[in-house]
Amino acid sequence: MSSSTTHTSTIGAIGAPSRRNTELALLVFAVVIPLFAYMNVGLAISGELPPGMLGYGLGLGLLAGVAHLVVRKFAPYADPLLLPLATLLNGLGLVVIWRLDQSEKLQQRPNFSEAAPNQLLYSAVGIALFVGVLLLLKDHRVLQRYTYISMVAAIGLLLLPLVPGLGMNVFGARIWIRVGGFSIQPGEFAKIVIAIFFAGYLMVKRDALALASRRFMGLYLPRGRDLGPILVVWAMSILILVFETDLGTSLLFFGMFVVMLYVATERTSWIVFGLLMSGVGAVGVASFEPHVQQRVDAWLDPFNSDVIAQNSDQIAQSLMAFGSGGTLGSGLGQGHSDLIGFAANSDFILATYGEELGLAGVMAVLLIYGLIVERGVRTALAARDPFGKLLAVGLSGAFAIQVFVVAGGVMGLIPLTGMTMPFIAYGGSSVIANWALVGILLRISDTARRPAPSPAPNPDAEMTQVVRP
Partner 1 sequence: MNKPLRRIAIFCGLLVLALLIRDNWLQYVQADNLAEHEMNRRVPIERYAQPRGDIIVDGKAITGSQKVDGDDFKYKRTYKNGPMWSPVTGFASQRIGATQIESIEDRILTGNDDRLFFRRSLDMLTGKKKEGGNVVTTLNADAQKAAYNGLKGRGKGAVAAIDPSTGAILALASTPSYDPSSFAGNTNKEAETFGKLDKDRDKPMLNRALRETYPPGSTFKVVTAAAAMEHGLYTDIDDKTKSPLPWTMPDTTTPLKNEGNIPCKNATLREALRVSCNTVFGKIGSDLGKDKMLETAEKFGFNEEQFVPVRSNASVFPKEMDRPQTALSSIGQFETAATPLQMAMVTSAIANDGTLMEPYMVKELQAPNLDVIEKHSPKEMSEPMSKENAQKLQDMMQTVVNEGTGTAAKIPGVTVGGKTGTAQHGLNNSKNPYAWFISYAKTDSGSPVAVAVVVEDSDASRDDISGGGLAAPIAKDVMKAVLDSKK
Q: How far is the CB of 396 from partner 1 (least distance, A)?
A: 7
If the CB atoms of residues 91 and 386 are measured against partner 1, the closer one turns out to be 386
Nearest CA-CA partner of 75 in 448, 435, 378: 448
If the CB atoms of residues 266 and 462 are measured against partner 1, the closer one turns out to be 266
CA distance 354 to 330: 9
Q: Which of 313, 347, 356, 446 binds partner 1 (CB under 8 A)?
A: 313
> What φ, ψ does residue 51 adopt, rounded to 5°?
-65, -30
If the CB atoms of residues 323 and 451 are measured against partner 1, the closer one turns out to be 323
CA distance 247 to 241: 5
Q: How far is the CB of 324 from partner 1 (least distance, A)?
A: 4
If the CB atoms of residues 400 and 419 are measured against partner 1, the closer one turns out to be 400
Q: Is 220 helix (H, G, I), strand (E, B) or coil?
A: strand
339 contributes a contact to partner 1 by CB under 8 A: yes
The angle that helices 386-410 and 186-211 make with each other, rounded to 10 degrees, is 130
Q: Is 294 helix (H, G, I), strand (E, B) or coil?
A: helix
CA distance 113 to 392: 37
Mode of pairing for the β-strands spanning 213-216 and 219-222? antiparallel
CA distance 145 to 166: 30
Q: Which of 3, 327, 454, 465 binds partner 1 (CB under 8 A)?
A: 327
274 contributes a contact to partner 1 by CB under 8 A: no
If the CB atoms of residues 126 and 361 are measured against partner 1, the closer one turns out to be 361
Sketch the per residue contact string, 65 through 104, with partner 1: x for CB under 8 A, - otherwise. ---------------------------------------x
Q: What is the DSSP letter of 144?
A: G
Q: How far is the CB of 265 from partner 1 (least distance, A)?
A: 8
Q: How far apart are the first and last CA of the chain?
A: 48
Residues contacting residue 216 through CB under 8 Å, at least 6 positions apart: none
Nearest CA-CA partner of 155 in 201, 185, 186: 186
12 contributes a contact to partner 1 by CB under 8 A: no
Q: What is the DSSP letter of 162?
A: G
> Do 154 and 193 meet the contact criterion of CB atoms below 8 Å apart?
yes
Q: Which of 2, 3, 5, 108 binds partner 1 (CB under 8 A)?
A: 108
Nearest CA-CA partner of 176 in 338, 419, 456, 469: 419
> Do 232 and 381 meet the contact criterion of CB atoms below 8 Å apart?
no
Residues 349 to 408: which contact partner 1 by CB under 8 A? 354, 358-359, 362-363, 366-367, 369-370, 373-374, 377-378, 380-381, 386, 389-390, 393, 396-397, 400-401, 403-404, 407-408
Q: Which of 59, 105, 229, 243 binds partner 1 (CB under 8 A)?
A: 105
Q: Is 173 helix (H, G, I), strand (E, B) or coil?
A: strand
Q: Which of 162, 213, 336, 460 binds partner 1 (CB under 8 A)?
A: 336
Q: How far is the CB of 272 from partner 1 (least distance, A)?
A: 14
Q: How far is the CB of 47 from partner 1 (least distance, A)?
A: 8
| Binding residues for partner 1, total number by CB under 8 A | 51
Write the Ramachandran bin of 17: left for phi over 0, alpha for psi from -120 to 50, otherwise beta. beta
208 contributes a contact to partner 1 by CB under 8 A: no
Sketch the per residue contact string, 242 through 261, with partner 1: x for CB under 8 A, - otherwise. -----------------x--
Within 13 A of 299's CA, how many CA atoms are on the CB side?
19
If the CB atoms of residues 18 and 352 are measured against partner 1, the closer one turns out to be 352
CA distance 39 to 33: 10
Q: How far is the CB of 340 from partner 1 (least distance, A)?
A: 11
Q: How far is the CB of 42 from partner 1 (least distance, A)?
A: 15
Q: What residues make contact with partner 1 under the rule CB under 8 A?
A: 104-105, 108, 259, 262-264, 266, 303, 313, 316, 319-320, 322-327, 336, 339, 354, 358-359, 362-363, 366-367, 369-370, 373-374, 377-378, 380-381, 386, 389-390, 393, 396-397, 400-401, 403-404, 407-408, 411-413
